[in-house]
């Protein structure tokens, strides 16, 4: 396990040599939501393949680089493309970037994703602030020997999604200068390991256990971030409705996320400004 720490530290040193200021806010861009990356000023781009020990994403719709720079004068580090468990990565690989962010000095994480809506109040194209999550299969990136440089053995997961940042996002969505209305929903996100979409019985189960939306990412990263004391804001783009009679297609998921991407960008920019 100390080997894992050594690998993270190698990545951290590599990135630190390329940047002059410590990033404060990390942003993970979900499927189809990559447009925000264009807003990063004074940027340094680092392909994942250049970073020692970094995995490389294989999913269509994800670019594979870190973009480090400024948004509204805040130091940000943006992950364009993430690592999913369903691609074959182990949980500690999925969350490797989070541990790198933690040791780079990041204190806040804005994590986004595309997900299916389970709650009938959620419609395709909605943005949902994540208030909590359900880790359905119990898979944890923290399994194995604890590395105390990252955090404690038994971290609490209450308020994993910062109530302060949720309030801040809600306030910003109501800001008067917005030209289009930014309506935000709220709900519980359930993680399914995928890559298959859910069966009818699984959808029913997820609904019964209290999930509002379901997706194949985010929860491992959030567990890892909370473990390392990083404050989290989670934003879901609802790309399909699970109560529809057929499974969504990946193409449709990307298409809807891309349609929502401008609204998402507006929200995140306002949140960063107010952070």
C-alpha 266/C-alpha 275 separation (Å) is: 14
Stretch that binds ligand HPA, among 11-19, 44-52, 108-116, 130-138 (CB under 6 A): 108-116
What residues are paired with 185 via a beta bridge?
128
Burial class, 217, CB count within 10 angstroms (exposed 0-12 / middle 13-18 / buried 19+): buried
Stretch that binds ligand HPA, among 87-95, 109-117, 119-127, 152-160 (CB under 6 A): 109-117
Burial readout 186-208 (b: 16 or more C-beta within 10 A, e: otherwise): bbbbbbbeeeebbeeebbeebbe
CB of 189 to ligand HPA, least distance (A): 10
Q: Is the backbone of residue 61 left (phi > 0), alpha (psi -120 to 50) or beta?
A: left
Taking the complex as a whole, how short is the minimal distance between the CB of residue 194 and ligand HPA, in angstroms?
Answer: 6
x-or-dash string of contact with ligand HPA, 216-255, rule CB under 6 A: x----------------------xx-x-----x----x--
Residue with tokens 């393949």: 49
Closest CA to 217 of 74, 116, 148: 116
Query: Site residues for ligand HPA, window 181-210 (CB under 6 A)?
Result: 192, 197-198
Supply the minimum distance, in Å, between the C-beta of residue 238 and ligand HPA.
8
**How many residues of this chain bind ligand HPA (CB under 6 A)?**
14
115 touching ligand HPA, by CB under 6 A: yes
The yes or no reply on residue 35 touching ligand HPA (CB under 6 A) is no
Q: Determine the Cα–Cα distance for residues 81 and 63; give it in Å rounded to an integer.
A: 5
Interaction site with ligand HPA (CB under 6 A): 114-116, 192, 197-198, 214-216, 239-240, 242, 248, 253
């Amino acid at each position: 396990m100390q080997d894992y720490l050594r690998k993270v530290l190698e990545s951290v040193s590599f990135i630190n040599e390329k940047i002059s200021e410590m990033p404060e806010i990390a942003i993970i861009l979900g499927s189809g939501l990559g447009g925000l990356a264009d807003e990063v000023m004074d940027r340094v781009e680092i392909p994942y393949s250049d970073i020692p020990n970094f995995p490389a994403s294989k999913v269509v719709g994800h670019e594979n680089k870190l973009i480090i720079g400024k948004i509204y004068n805040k130091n940000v580090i943006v992950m364009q493309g993430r690592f999913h468990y369903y691609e074959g990565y182990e949980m500690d690989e999925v969350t490797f970037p989070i541990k790198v962010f933690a040791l780079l000095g990041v204190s806040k994480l804005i994590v986004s994703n595309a997900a299916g809506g389970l709650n009938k109040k959620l419609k395709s194209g909605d943005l949902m602030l994540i208030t909590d999550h359900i880790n359905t299969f119990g898979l944890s990136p923290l399994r194995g020997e604890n590395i105390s440089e990252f955090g404690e053995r038994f971290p609490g997961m209450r308020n994993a999604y910062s109530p302060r940042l949720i309030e801040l996002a809600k306030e910003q969505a109501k800001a008067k200068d917005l030209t289009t209305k930014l309506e935000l929903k709220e709900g519980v996100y359930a993680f399914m390991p995928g890559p298959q979409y859910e069966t009818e019985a699984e959808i029913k189960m997820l609904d019964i256990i209290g999930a509002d939306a379901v997706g194949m990412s985010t929860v491992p990263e959030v567990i890892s971030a909370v473990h390392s004391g990083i404050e989290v804001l989670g934003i879901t783009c609802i790309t399909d409705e699970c109560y529809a009679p057929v499974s969504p297609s990946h193409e449709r998921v990307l298409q809807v996320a891309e349609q929502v991407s401008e609204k998402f960008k507006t929200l995140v920019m306002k949140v960063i400004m107010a952070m």
